[in-house]
Amino acid sequence: MDELNDEVRSAIESAVKKLKQPPEVAKRIGALLGQIANGNVNMNKRDEYQSHLEAMLDVIVVDNGEENRLS
């Protein structure tokens, strides 16, 4: 997240707050963007981004619906 621009970071945090999601969601999105900015994750390579994506989705809270864990 170090490489992430302050404005982008704060935009993510305020979006997460607005949609009443836990702060952990902002951290996960920030981590993914930071890794992309560092050149460590290439969004054209699934094996590089998939675990970040699942970590981000996993902390998103859904009010209703059946429990479906990510496999």
3-42 mask for other proteins (x: CB under 8 A)? x-x-xx-xxx-xxx-xx-x---x---x--xx--xxxx---
Q: What are phi and psi of 39, to 5 degrees?
A: 85, 10
Cβ at position 44, least distance to other proteins in Å = 9
Coil, strand or helix at 69: coil
Should residue 53 be labelled a site residue for other proteins when binding is judged by CB under 8 A?
yes
* 60 contact partners, CB below 8 Å, separation of at least 6: 21, 25
* 62 contact partners, CB below 8 Å, separation of at least 6: none
- Which residues of this protein are in contact with other proteins, per CB under 8 A? 3, 5, 7-8, 10-12, 14-16, 18-19, 21, 25, 29, 32-33, 36-39, 43, 49-50, 53-54, 56-57, 60, 62, 64-68, 70-71
